[in-house]
Copies of this chain bind each other. A is one copy, B any other.
Amino acid sequence: MPRVTLSDVAAASGVSKATVSLVVRDSSRVSAATKARVREAMEQLGYVYDRRAANLRAQRSMTVALVATNVRNPYFAELTMAIERVLYKRGYTLLLGYSHDDQERQTRLLEAMSEHRVDGMLLVPSYDTSGDMLQKSLGASGTPHVLVTRHVPSHQADYIGVDNRAAGQLLGDHLVRSGRQHVAFLGGPPRSTARVEREQGLRTALEGHGLALDPALSIATSADRDGGERAVELLAETGRPYDAIVCYSDVVAFGAISALRARGVEAGREVAVAGFDDVPDAALQHPSLTTVATHPDQTGAEAAELLLRRIEEPDLQPHTVLLTPELKVRESTRSQDGSAPHTPDTR
């Protein structure tokens, strides 16, 4: 059966296409009686509005794209859901793509989204994304966009994420105050801006207390659980003493705690362990995990709001919004009980 169109509805209800179009959008320019008649016809015919055609003509799409890396980490799950929630409320539909931190895939996704004429894009840039790349894949279409969680130093654009330096500092201060002195920083991908900034904050805090962050104790791996396990192995191989481990993220910390346990070390005793994010599991693990809340929900919601504002006012100055992190002290960083820092058995 052929599709029912506006013209069919117009014919059936004895008005013009223009009038039906106004009824669809509930314009006040059409009388209540006419509206009722037209709606009756739509119902009768089983009419389904074609937004694509409407939007082609109106030169917008009422869609927004999210290009993220993946959704395995609960942080990104919350972020995605917050974004979807705001867009839904504002009548926008979300297009989604995962780059898996692969540059070529990211480029192809950005181009596909541009070709679908999304009104705007939210991008969690993959590692090593350069300003040039973004310029190339987004510049031609000029699609308004907001960077989320990770920024691209050489790219002028809206950015919203947590203040990673402040987050690192919070953990550093807390650990030193709890009597820790030899702090390692484990996991996360080497060149990620978040990793670099968190480490800087940590270092600043330590130096504020007259301590240093031993470069040999900063070990980048990956941002998943496995990255935490591997980093602990590598840390042990250094043979250096440590009494605290700050992990790139909670998920990394879970891996680290697991690996420590396999070596007979319980987090929160000889070695304090902390993460970033405050994913739901952090409070529920045994021991519960000290961490810094990075507020994915708020980040996602505000990123979506910011993008919608930019869509409406393209000439707005680029904004950088840094959310304030929040320290959550739990069992995994209980105060130092006076014992010596943990020295790994080098077997």
Measured CB to CB, the residues of A under 8 A from B are 46-53, 55-56, 61, 63, 70-72, 74, 77-78, 80-81, 84-85, 88, 93-98, 105, 109, 112-117, 139-141, 225, 254-255, 258, 261, 280-281, 284, 286
Contacts and interface: CB of A to CB of B under 8 A. Distances in A.
Given A48-B141, A225-B280, A93 B84 contact: no
Contact of A115 (B48, B61, B261, B286): B48
Contacts of A284: 225, 254-255, 258
In the complex this chain forms, how many copies of it are found?
Answer: 2
- The SS class assigned to the A binding surface is helix
A216 to B, nearest CB: 28
Contact of A98 (B56, B70, B81, B95): B81
Contact of A96 (B78, B84, B114, B141): B84
Contacts of A77: 71-72, 77
Contacts of A96: 84, 94-96
Nearest to A284: B258
A245 to B, nearest CB: 18
A47 B80 CA distance: 31
A335 to B, nearest CB: 23
A187 to B, nearest CB: 15
Given A84-B96, A97-B88, A98-B84, A115 B74 contact: no
Given A51-B115, A51-B116, 20 more contacts: A48-B114, A48-B140, A48-B141, A49-B115, A52-B116, A53-B56, A56-B56, A63-B95, A70-B81, A71-B80, A72-B78, A72-B81, A72-B280, A88-B105, A93-B97, A93-B112, A94-B96, A225-B284, A254-B284, A261-B286
User: Which 4 pairs, one residue from A and one from B, show the smallest C-beta to C-beta distance?
Assistant: A46-B140, A51-B115, A96-B96, A48-B141
